Amino acid sequence: MTDELNRSPNPHRLHRDTRNRWIGGVVSGVANYFNVDPTILRVAAIVLFLFPGTSGFMIIGYIIAWIVIPERPVEVRATSPEEDTFWRGVSRRPDVTFSNLRYTFRDLEERLRSVERVVTSEEWRLRREFRDLER
């Protein structure tokens, strides 16, 4: 219970994906975090493993990541694709997310002002009165 209270509302974190794994779920978890196809990262990891001098680094790096990166917890609630996309952007680029939110609210404010201008206009009042007379 206390773990859930202390958790961030952002469900997008780097976890090992043990449901879609080959070995430990590290590559699949990184692919989920960056929203790319795990197959692409697996092929890249295999290619890097085959280069001379990188295989030892790849093995050690994978084992360390396997130990350090936590396993993906069971999802308590399902998120919509829009919400998931929002949280992915928040966790990687918060300044861009803030800018996008500011733009969205400015756009909503301008639209609201436009509606307010129309509703409070004399033309709107006249149309409403004609509509009432037709009934």
Ranges 5-9, 24-28, 121-125, most confident:
121-125
* C-alpha to C-alpha distance for 26 and 14, rounded to whole angstroms: 9
Classified as helix, coil or strand, 16 is: strand
Domain, as residue range, for 25: 1-78
Note the pLDDT tens digit of each residue in 51-76: 877 777 878 888 888 888 877 766 64
The model scores a pTM over 0.75: no
Establish if 51 belongs to a structural domain: yes
61 with 99, same domain?
A: no
* Angle, in degrees to the nearest 10, between helices 81-92 and 94-119: 130
Query: Is 83 part of any domain?
Result: no
Q: Are residues 67 and 97 in the same domain?
A: no
- Name the nearest CA neighbour of 8 among 90, 98, 105, 104: 90
